[in-house]
Amino acid sequence: MRHVDFSPLYRSTVGFDRLFTMLDSLGQPDSGQSYPPYNIERTGEDAYRISMAVAGFSEKDIAIEAHRNVLSVKGERKEEANDEGSEVLYRGIAARSFERRFQLADHVEVLGAQLKNGLLHIDLKRTVPEELKPRKIEIGNGGKAKQIEAKAAA
């Protein structure tokens, strides 16, 4: 396994910590995390939706947190007490705890989340601030430039 040590670069750079952390995390395997399954869809020009299959979880069992371009979804289901005399012969519906993290691009915000029919839908929207949007620059008419400070030579 290849590992690159970025610690010498941390000493000589300012403000690039997140970049080096992202590069460092690319070399680490995802450890085969596949639960719960999810889809990422584009629902509009600047709108996205993450849908996760969380069968058996309720709203109180799931915590969603967005912090510094990372969206974390955690699920922890409490053990259910079986009825008197009942016994589970086969458990095919997963009830294990999970934590799934998504890296969000800059200026992506979470609009809301809803749980419907065993699917957790998280709606996202990218909103670029006005000062970062491209703007049109007018081209001057090419007229004679005015001299401001010194008088023209006679």
Tell me: the pLDDT tens digits for 121-151?
A: 999 998 888 777 788 888 877 666 566 666 6
* Alpha-carbon gap, residue 102 to 64, rounded angstroms: 11
pLDDT at residue 62 in the model:
92
* Alpha-carbon gap, residue 47 to 43, rounded angstroms: 5
CATH class of residue range 33-78+93-128: mainly beta
- Mean pLDDT across 42-51: 90
Considering the chain, tell me which residue range(s) the CATH 2.60.40.790 domain(s) occupy. 33-78+93-128
Global pTM exceeds 0.75: no
